[in-house]
Structure 1
Amino acid sequence: MSLSVALQVAQSALAARQTETSTVSRNIAGAQDAGYSRKSVLLSAVVSDSGQSGGIRTEGIGRVTDNALYTSLLRSTSVGTSQEAVLEGLETLAQTFGDTELEQSPAALLGDLKTALQNASSDPNDTILAQDLLNSAKDMVDVLQRSSSAVQTVRADADAAIANSVDQVNKLLGQLEDLNTIIVKGTQSGHDVTDAQDSRDQVLLALSEEMGITTLTRADGDVVVYTDSGVTLFETSAREVSFAPTNTFSAATVGNAVFVDGVPVVGDDAVMPLSSGRLHGLTELRDEVAPTYQSQLDEIARGLIESFAESDQSGGGGPDQAGLFTWSGAPAVPVTATLSVGLAADIQINANADPDQGGDLDLLRDGGISDPLDPDYDYNPTDLAGYTGRYQDFLDGLDAPRVFDAGVDLDPTDTLTGFASSSVSWLESNRQTATSDLEIQSVIVNRTAESLANTTGVNIDEEMTLLLDIERAYAAASKLISAVDAMLDDLLAVAR
């Protein structure tokens, strides 16, 4: 090896070690930064046309990646945020009226109503017991109305959260477009783009919290992003994600869809629906979980109206009419075995039996609440003070098997009491299942993130050891330069 080649080798080694030192310092500084991946210097040997080694050359800066772990993290994050959104809604419902021990649920108030009926039946002429019965009936109506209102509040909150999530998605897509442009241009020009790649990975991870995504990396570091259902979300430029929030919710309100580039991805009209992510969970809560519970409340309300309905006592075959519990469609009784949407919010106490509204408490015992002026619905025409038949009818009606709508996720053939209890159990069961699923998913996310960090992150001890190796290599290159310098001095001395 000639002295000039030796000097070239030493100089290239020094330059490479300088770059490596800078990169190690960069790794140590970024070790605690979220999403930072370890950087390393890419080196190659310089070989002359004659095949002689001429040193080393720095080809650029690379970063440690693990596509399999990163893809798994994206997927598990999306599933976790979806489950979390549903669980938060279920917990709100459960905290509001799901505790039978605190007598906040429809099932608990139905039990109080039965007790009041039994007490009133023991002394049908006692106005205090009759008033207690009326108060229990009012409490029952109140809890159904409040429960229905709470369900719609949960739906409205979910709808507002969907709007916030869509805003976040569009913001993240804008950041992704900027970073992707930097990466593509930097890759083409040979610049270091590893920090931009780290930032892009973090943006994609944040995006996966909002909706399930899959990614594809193309030439020059370009990335394409799809929803987990296959709709293109980003390709060179961001696609528009749009959503029109709903200001007010009732039981009959249908929430709007979320569109990606004009394609509905959540909602009843979704042709390529998301299967994970916060948007998926919020939509499931808004359009499935909460409406199902609302339907159960509506069926409880229908069961009450049916149980306390009055029939024609004259034998004339007149239609049944709403009695103590009534609704906007009175005097008719809601169609049996058929869901009346929003009935839990619509149910009310018949003013004819409420002294506060000018009514008569004796109608609870005697019947004729639907129309006090119509003798055909009077069960106690002789006004017997000890008449208990009507109270017993009420009790029998609460415990009689009846047919409920089959689309409410409960046994459609049950007593009203059993149906109300099953509704509370349904809510609690779903909450416990969601809690368990989220706990498991959280472990998966944490373990995956930890594995990814162990694979791609910075180990300070390893970096310090590498720094010592670089220092020794730097010293060796310096000695080679010193040796070449001494040889050149000797040559010059001989020449003189």
Structure 2
Amino acid sequence: MSLSVALQVAQSALTTRQRETSILAQNITNATVEGYSRKSALVSSLRSENGQSGGITVESIARATDEALLSNLMKSTSAAMTDEIYLDGLTRLSETIGDPSEDRSPSAALGNFLTAMQQYSAEPQNSVLASAVLTSAEDLANTLNEATRAVQSERERADALIADSVTTINTLLEDFEAVNNEVIRGTQAGTDITSALDQRDQIVLQLSEYMGIRAETRGSNDMVLTTDSGVMLFETTPRTVSFESTTTYVAGTVGNALLVDGVRVAGPGATMELSEGSLVGLMKLRDEAAVTYQNQLDEMARGLITAFREADQVGTNPDRTGLFSYSGSPTVPASGTVIAGLAGDISIAASVDPDQGGDINRLRDGGISEPYDADYVYNTGGEAGYVTRLQEIITELDKPISFDPITMVDPSNSLQDFASSSASWLEGARQAADAVYERSSVVVTRTAESLSNITGVNIDDEMQAMLEIERSYSATAKLISTINEMLEQLLDLAG
């Protein structure tokens, strides 16, 4: 080997080691950066035209990756976000409305009211006990009113989060387009695209938090994205994700659907429904869990109104509402059918409330529904110890009645048992969601750890590689020094 060739080999080695050192330094610097994949130099030999070795060079830069694990991480992330969002919503409902052990829960308020009724029936002439019944009835009506507001507020919150998520998704898709184009150009030009690939993977992972994503890579490293239901999300250009927010919810309000490229993928009328992602959890909370709980509250209200209905004592006129009133009074609600929003509409009849000019004794005597129609008065003799009407109401409250099956609890139960079952249903749903989220979050953690073990940076390994490069650099420097000495000796001989 000539000295000039030897010098060329040494120079190429120095250049290559310098490039390798730069890559290692990059790895060490970004060791804690989320989504960064370890980079490594692919070194190859240089050959002259006659096939003689001419040194080494960094042919390309590779990044550590595992497509199967990345795909699993995307899927598990989508599933975990579905469970997390749904659990968060159920927890908020539980915290806002309470449970049977708290006075602010519908079940507890109903229990207090029944206790007051029983005490009053033992002493129907006691005005203090009558006032206690009225107060507990007002508390019960207010509890149902507040619970309805809490449920609808949670639906509004879910709807707003869906709208915010859609904005974020569209922004991510625009970012994805820019990075994907950079990857394609770099692939075609043969330049380093490893950082762009890292960035693209992170965008896809962020998208998978909102909806299930399927990614497919084709020629020139171009990537195509579809939802887990098969709707095109990105191909060359991003598809539009749209959602029209509903700012105010009342019982019975139906929220709007989520669309991808004009196709309904979540919400009412979805034809290619998403399976996973935070948007699925929000839709499930807004359109299923909250609606079911609202139906249960409405059925409690209907049970109360029905139990206190007053009958015509002398004629054939229809039954009329009594102590508990609503906007449809004096008509008694139909049996076994949810009336949307009844829990938010229920109130105390003014004719029995002294603060509204009413007579509290109508609790005992009847005639609440029609103060000026004696046909609805039960205690026609005006007896202070009249107890028949109160006992009749207590019996009504204690016997099974027909509830709408869409409430998803026992449709033939007493009002108190139905209220307790409702609270149990909500808590049961929360606990089940908690157990599911616990499992799915473990899967995400373990999958992420497995991927990190393959693609992440180990500082010890990088430092060891740095030492090896340093030794190689020293050997190359020594070779150059030797070549320099030989050249000087040749020059001296020639001089």
TM-score tier by shorter-chain length is over 0.9
Q: 2:266 — aligned with what?
A: 266
Cα deviation, 1:81-128, whole Å, max 9, x if unaligned, reads 222211222122111222322211111011111111111101111111
Q: 1:15 — aligned with what?
A: 15
Q: Give the conservation status (yes or no) of the 8 Å contact 1:324–1:353.
A: yes
Aligned mates of 2:472, 2:318 — CA distance in 1:
100
Please list every run of 5 or more consecutive structure 1 residues that lacks an aligned counterpart in the other structure: none
User: How many Å apart are 1:234 and its aligned residue?
Assistant: 1.4
Matches within 5 A, 1:329-478: 329-478=328-477
Q: 1:195 — aligned with what?
A: 195
Q: Does 1:120 align with 2:125?
A: no
Which one is further off, 14-23 or 298-307? 14-23
Which residue identity lines up with residue 411 of structure 1 in the other structure? D
Aligned mates of 2:137, 2:467 — CA distance in 1:
82
Which one is further off, 294-303 or 58-67? 58-67
User: How many Å apart are 1:373 and its aligned residue?
Assistant: 2.3
Query: Helix, strand or coil: the match of 1:226?
Result: strand
Which residue identity lines up with residue 378 of structure 2 in the other structure? Y
Q: 1:247 — aligned with what?
A: 247
User: How many Å apart are 1:10 and its aligned residue?
Assistant: 3.0
Aligned mates of 1:55, 1:279 — CA distance in 2:
56
TM-score, structure 1 length as denominator? 0.95
Q: Give the conservation status (yes or no) of the 8 Å contact 1:163–1:244.
A: yes
Q: Give the conservation status (yes or no) of the 8 Å contact 1:98–1:427.
A: no
Aligned mates of 2:17, 2:378 — CA distance in 1:
102
Which residue identity lines up with residue 393 of structure 1 in the other structure? E
Q: 1:103 — aligned with what?
A: 103
Q: 2:221 — aligned with what?
A: 221
Q: 2:135 — aligned with what?
A: 135
Query: Helix, strand or coil: the match of 1:191?
Result: coil
Which residue identity lines up with residue 280 of structure 1 in the other structure? V
User: How many Å apart are 1:488 and its aligned residue?
Assistant: 5.3
Which residue identity lines up with residue 210 of structure 1 in the other structure? Y
User: How many Å apart are 1:457 and its aligned residue?
Assistant: 1.1
User: How many Å apart are 1:436 and its aligned residue?
Assistant: 2.3
Q: 1:44 — aligned with what?
A: 44
Q: 1:164 — aligned with what?
A: 164
Cα deviation, 1:367-403, whole Å, max 9, x if unaligned, reads 1211122233222212222111111111111111111
Which one is further off, 227-236 or 156-165? 227-236
Aligned mates of 2:466, 2:96 — CA distance in 1:
60
User: How many Å apart are 1:50 and its aligned residue?
Assistant: 5.6
Aligned mates of 1:237, 1:44 — CA distance in 2:
37
User: How many Å apart are 1:180 and its aligned residue?
Assistant: 1.2
Query: Helix, strand or coil: the match of 1:41?
Result: strand
Q: 2:173 — aligned with what?
A: 173
Which one is further off, 253-262 or 366-375? 366-375
Query: Helix, strand or coil: the match of 1:242?
Result: strand
Query: Helix, strand or coil: the match of 2:301?
Result: helix
Aligned mates of 1:370, 1:379 — CA distance in 2:
12
User: How many Å apart are 1:468 and its aligned residue?
Assistant: 1.2
Cα deviation, 1:324-344, whole Å, max 9, x if unaligned, reads 112111211111011111110
Q: Give the conservation status (yes or no) of the 8 Å contact 2:298–2:340.
A: yes
Which one is further off, 49-58 or 186-195? 49-58
Aligned mates of 2:65, 2:270 — CA distance in 1:
35
**% of aligned pairs identical?**
54
Aligned mates of 1:119, 1:493 — CA distance in 2:
123
Which residue identity lines up with residue 118 of structure 1 in the other structure? Q
Q: Does 1:81 align with 2:81?
A: yes
Aligned mates of 2:247, 2:161 — CA distance in 1:
12
User: How many Å apart are 1:8 and its aligned residue?
Assistant: 3.7
Which one is further off, 428-437 or 412-421? 428-437
Q: 1:64 — aligned with what?
A: 64
Cα deviation, 1:407-458, whole Å, max 9, x if unaligned, reads 1111111111100000011111111222222222222222222222221111
Q: Give the conservation status (yes or no) of the 8 Å contact 1:352–1:370.
A: yes
Matches within 5 A, 1:294-309: 294-309=294-309
Q: Give the conservation status (yes or no) of the 8 Å contact 1:264–1:270.
A: yes
Q: Give the conservation status (yes or no) of the 8 Å contact 2:151–2:294.
A: yes
Query: Helix, strand or coil: the match of 2:405?
Result: coil
Q: 1:55 — aligned with what?
A: 55
Query: Helix, strand or coil: the match of 2:294?
Result: helix
Aligned mates of 1:486, 1:359 — CA distance in 2:
117
User: How many Å apart are 1:210 and its aligned residue?
Assistant: 1.8
Q: Give the conservation status (yes or no) of the 8 Å contact 1:228–1:274.
A: yes
**Aligned pairs, number:** 495
Q: Does 1:93 align with 2:93?
A: yes
User: How many Å apart are 1:309 and its aligned residue?
Assistant: 0.9
Which residue identity lines up with residue 42 of structure 1 in the other structure? L
Which residue identity lines up with residue 382 of structure 1 in the other structure? G
Aligned mates of 1:312, 1:44 — CA distance in 2:
101
Aligned mates of 2:266, 2:392 — CA distance in 1:
47
Q: 1:205 — aligned with what?
A: 205
Which one is further off, 227-236 or 153-162? 227-236
Which residue identity lines up with residue 444 of structure 2 in the other structure? V
Query: Helix, strand or coil: the match of 2:65?
Result: coil
Aligned mates of 2:349, 2:365 — CA distance in 1:
15
Q: Does 1:288 align with 2:288?
A: yes
Query: Helix, strand or coil: the match of 1:264?
Result: strand
User: How many Å apart are 1:322 and its aligned residue?
Assistant: 1.1
TM-score, structure 2 length as denominator? 0.95
Aligned mates of 2:482, 2:220 — CA distance in 1:
43
Q: Give the conservation status (yes or no) of the 8 Å contact 1:366–1:379.
A: yes
Query: Helix, strand or coil: the match of 2:33?
Result: coil
Q: Give the conservation status (yes or no) of the 8 Å contact 1:98–1:428.
A: no
Which residue identity lines up with residue 100 of structure 1 in the other structure? P
Aligned mates of 1:131, 1:73 — CA distance in 2:
62
Which residue identity lines up with residue 414 of structure 1 in the other structure? N
Query: Helix, strand or coil: the match of 2:332?
Result: coil
Aligned mates of 1:222, 1:255 — CA distance in 2:
37
Aligned mates of 1:237, 1:4 — CA distance in 2:
53
Q: Give the conservation status (yes or no) of the 8 Å contact 2:99–2:107.
A: no
Query: Helix, strand or coil: the match of 1:311?
Result: coil
User: How many Å apart are 1:48 and its aligned residue?
Assistant: 5.2
Q: Does 1:184 align with 2:184?
A: yes
User: How many Å apart are 1:152 and its aligned residue?
Assistant: 0.4
Aligned mates of 2:48, 2:218 — CA distance in 1:
33
User: How many Å apart are 1:286 and its aligned residue?
Assistant: 0.7
Q: 2:236 — aligned with what?
A: 236
